[in-house]
Amino acid sequence: MNHKPGSVAAPIAATLVAAPAAATFTASPANATRERDGQWLLIAGGVLLGTIGVFVEEAGQHPLITVWFRCAFGALALLSWCLATGRGRELLLTGRSRWVACATGVLMVVNWALFFAAIPRTSIAVATVIFHVQPIWVLVFGALFLREAVSRGQWLATVAALGGLVLTTGLLDSAAGSATGSHGGSYAGNYIAGLLMCLGGSLCYAAVTLLANTQKSISPFATALWQCLVGAVALAWAPFVLGWPQHASAWAWLLGLGVLHTGLAYVVLFAGMARLGLGRIAVLQFVYPLTAVLVDWAVYGRTLSPMQLAGVALMAAALWTIRRPGRAQVVPEGG
């Protein structure tokens, strides 16, 4: 595992909430074409989200600044698409729906801030993979607080996923040991802090998923836009206190986070999910973390050790069991 010590520059991994109802298909050429298009759309969205970390690293801003710009530019992008497609009525929420949308917005802001702060302390690959442990928390919280039925196989898969999580952190790996030794106790402390931030972010995202499932009348598009609006308002103070980006290149990277990784990526993901069944959606959501691992290696030369890769594989197999079709609403994940 080859990590560079990070500055406070923020990396990312954004995300979305409630997924649209998965489609059910009958065999026909038209449906086959629709499903194929859905696969490519979901793959494209996952690949796009997998590059989020690069944009955050290169922007080099405080995590809260990065979150605010993502929310502000993302809200503008989604609002433009909303007006262009005539979906404004979806945004009119009342009563409990409005409170749920605001609560998920606050949780998503905390989630993004923790994730962005974690990447320079660990790596894009490690942070993204660990963040994707959130289905475990959804399963556990659903069983404890919502009395959802959980099979013995799913509990075993949860234990296996947690074992994979431990391997993926690199804390049991000689590579992690040499890294902490070469960089000293300060780096070791930063690395562990980054891991804890990832876990905290995944817990927030799990809470977002559970809250969104209590108000299924809110469309995924409305949820995403409300989250961006809440974040833009809640963090409006950040640039004035922490400072505005000083270089044009930083503005460009931040603009990309909002327009590409929030506006375009979410629209593409929603379009793809509307064309696919739950089983295919669950499998294709692993495109995002896989892309993040490859991008981290291609751009920054940071690789996972064999033990970490084994942990990733164990987590993937376990999470597939937990997310198997017919169990719960699938959530498009992004940074």
pLDDT digits (tens, 9 = 90+) for 319-334: 777 765 444 444 455 5
- 180 lies in a domain? yes
* Cα dihedral 272, 330, 303, 162 in deg (nearest 10): -170
Quickly list H helices, the chain.
29-49, 52-59, 63-85, 95-118, 124-131, 134-145, 152-169, 174-214, 220-234, 238-242, 248-258, 265-273, 278-284, 287-300, 306-322
Place of tokens 């993926």: 168
- 5 lies in a domain? no
Question: Which own/partner contact pairs does 150-156 have at CB distance under 8 Å and 24+ positions apart?
Answer: 153/321, 154/321, 154/322, 154/327
Of residues 188, 215, 270, the one with CA closest to residue 102: 215
Q: State the chain's mean pLDDT as an integer.
A: 80
Where in the sequence is the domain holding 255, given as residue range(s)? 33-322
Length of the chain in terms of residues written: 335
pTM for the whole thing?
0.81
> Residue 44 is encoded by which pair of tokens?
């494209």
The predicted-structure confidence for 44-91, as pLDDT tens digits, reads as follows: 988 999 999 999 999 999 999 999 999 999 999 999 988 888 888 888
Number of domains comprising the chain: 1
**Dist. CA 102–CA 249, nearest whole Å:** 32
- 232 lies in a domain? yes
Under a CB-based contact definition with an 8 Å cutoff, are residues 198 and 165 in contact?
A: no
> Residue 306 is encoded by which pair of tokens?
């064999």
The predicted-structure confidence for 186-224, as pLDDT tens digits, reads as follows: 667 888 899 999 999 999 988 888 888 777 778 888 888
Residue 75: count other Cβ atoms within 10 Å of its Cβ: 24
Alpha-carbon dihedral sign for residues 51, 55, 60, 64: negative
Bigger pLDDT: 73 vs 20:
73
Query: Does the pLDDT of residue 185 top 80, yes or no?
Result: no
- 9 lies in a domain? no
- 26 lies in a domain? no
Q: Give the model's confidence band at 335: pLDDT under 50 very low, under 70 low, under 90 confident, else very high.
A: low
**Dist. CA 34–CA 130, nearest whole Å:** 33
Instruction: Give the contacts of 162 (CB within 8 A, at least 6 positions apart).
Output: 133, 136
- 327 lies in a domain? no
- 8 lies in a domain? no
- 28 lies in a domain? no
The predicted-structure confidence for 141-170, as pLDDT tens digits, reads as follows: 888 877 777 778 888 888 888 888 888 888
pLDDT, average across residues 123-136:
87
AA letter at 107: L
HSE (side-chain half, CA atoms, 13 Å) at 161: 25
Instruction: Give the contacts of 199 (CB within 8 A, at least 6 positions apart).
Output: 130, 133
Bigger pLDDT: 5 vs 333:
333
